Amino acid sequence: MPQGGSSLAQVIGVSGLWHAIRAEVVSYGLSVSSPEDVTLLTDRLDETRDEAIRAHRVQTMSEVGRLSSELAALRAQTGLLARLANAAGVRRRKAAVQRLYRNDAAYPGWLDAVRRRVEWLVRSPELAGARAELQVASLLSRLPGDHVVLNDVRLRANRRIRFNGKGLCTAQLDHVVLSNAGVWVIETKNWTREFADIGRAQEPFEQVERAAYLCYDLLRRSFGAVPVHGMVACAGVRFAPPADSRVVAAPAGELVSLLTGPQQQAVAPDRLARIQEYLSARVFCPTETT
């Protein structure tokens, strides 16, 4: 566990939404390092489309040429036994050539489908959510050095649990903050006023309550009772929790001051270090950096 001499909090993991978006973009053979890069991809795809098609055709014809040479070599061998022995190899190479031609013909359509998908991503709530999660993670990284920030923690119950009358098996936690005052489970929301006003503002508070309880239950069974608090970080419009909720709602910009306010020490350093090890093992992508 970092001690007070460190200037800033230790950060483990990256935004779950951003990790998923970047993984998808990488699967298309593209590279991005930030959400802003995604917004530039459509122009990049438009500018490089013709060049990419030509390069794909060159690669296709090079591979076709290699396979054609192998086919010619196989067919040049004379004698019944040689023909029988080479028949399967001839069939495989002819099929491979056909696949190459089909893939090359389909490649422009695939590029256009990728562009449409990227264009959708640019306007998607997922990318807006990823921006918000990265913003909150960046703000939390400014906490003092006796704090640890874990992003995208995945928890799974090790027994049957019911919470408020519903089964509770898993939870995905956007951010978890550890300090000697306990554990904070934080959900980031980037809602507009219109979205908050349609009656769904209660959902993130219930989500955090469930996640915080699962976290509490898992930690209690391994390390004894530990204070676990819930918070909704409002990266967009701020909305109030339901009257009976134990979850705090705060603008993203106020997180550091709220988490560093006067608090009693509730967790000994050695126990906090073991809790950190336990939760770090449940960070979905612990070594990835933004």
Give the model confidence (pLDDT) of 109-135 as tens digits. Answer: 999 999 999 999 999 999 999 999 999
Work out the pLDDT band at 4, boundaries 50, 70, 90. very low
- Assess contact for 277 and 1: CB atoms under 8 A: no
CA angle 23, 117, 190 (to 5 degrees): 70
| Conformational region of residue 154, where left means phi above 0, alpha means psi within -120 to 50, and beta covers everything else | beta
Q: Tell me: the pLDDT tens digits for 149-167?
A: 999 999 999 999 999 889 9
> CA-to-CA distance for 135 and 125, rounded, in angstroms?
15
Question: Domain residue spans in the chain?
Answer: 10-14+130-280, 32-123
pTM for the model stands at 0.87
> CA-to-CA distance for 174 and 172, rounded, in angstroms?
6
> CA-to-CA distance for 158 and 290, rounded, in angstroms?
32
Instruction: Identify the CA nearest to 231 among candidates 140, 148, 168.
Output: 140
E-strand spans in the chain?
10-12, 148-156, 162-163, 166-167, 170-179, 182-189, 228-234, 248-251
Q: Tell me: the pLDDT tens digits for 63-101?
A: 999 999 999 999 888 888 877 888 999 999 999 999 999
Topology classification of domain 10-14+130-280: Restriction Endonuclease (3.40.91)
pLDDT at 290 > cutoff 50 = no
